[in-house]
């Protein structure tokens, strides 16, 4: 039998325990749970680039990661085999593009790729279109040479 003298204390303890809940919800932003969260890296690039023929550099790939994680950059997409990212984070062609000899997948001198930045947990990506610009080439006049007579 419960001693009625302690009944108010018993009720108070029950109410106190009910107000505390199960204790599994942690809303403290300084908790270890929030320390384990990850912010994905973020790419800062345009979507279109014009590159003159015979030039291998496209752009320096700019990114950030709020957590300071190491970020790995990669190239994917339809024409990805034509590009690489060097140790200075510069997107480059594997060759010097020639407008008159298109090497993209559909031969229109527009290379379609996707740049991906990954910190191992999350990633960011952006689709890019790289257009090759035709330059006027200074070729000598072959007809003039053919008409040249040796005396």
Q: Is residue 101 assigned to a domain?
A: yes
pLDDT tens digit sequence for 23-81: 444 444 454 445 568 999 999 999 999 999 999 999 999 999 999 999 999 999 999 99
Structural domain range at position 121:
38-133
pLDDT tens digit sequence for 44-59: 999 999 999 999 999 9
The pLDDT score that the predictor gives to residue 52 is: 97
The pLDDT score that the predictor gives to residue 9 is: 60
Q: In what order do the strands lie in the sheet with 57-60?
A: 57-60, 90-93, 83-85
pLDDT tens digit sequence for 107-149: 999 999 999 999 999 999 999 999 999 998 766 555 555 556 5
CATH number for the domain spanning 83: value is: 2.60.40.60
The pLDDT score that the predictor gives to residue 144 is: 55
**pTM summary value:** 0.68
Q: Is residue 113 assigned to a domain?
A: yes
- By three-state DSSP, how is residue 112 classified? strand
Q: Is residue 4 assigned to a domain?
A: no
Query: How far apart (Å, rounded) are the C-alpha atoms in residues 115 and 91?
Result: 9
Structural domain total, the chain? 1
């Amino acid at each position: 039998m419960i001693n009625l003298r302690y009944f108010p204390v018993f009720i108070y303890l029950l109410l106190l325990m009910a107000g505390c809940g199960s204790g599994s919800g942690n809303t403290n932003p300084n908790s270890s749970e929030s320390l384990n969260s990850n912010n994905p890296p973020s790419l800062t690039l345009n979507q279109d680039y014009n590159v003159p023929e015979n030039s291998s550099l496209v752009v320096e790939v700019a990114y950030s990661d709020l957590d300071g994680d190491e970020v790995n950059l990669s190239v994917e997409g339809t024409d990805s085999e034509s590009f690489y990212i060097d140790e200075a984070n510069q997107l480059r062609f594997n060759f010097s593009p020639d407008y008159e000899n298109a090497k993209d997948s559909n031969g229109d001198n527009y290379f379609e790729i996707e740049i991906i930045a990954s910190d191992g947990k999350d990633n960011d990506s952006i689709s890019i279109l790289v257009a090759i610009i035709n330059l006027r080439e200074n070729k000598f006049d072959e007809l003039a040479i053919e008409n040249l007579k040796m005396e």
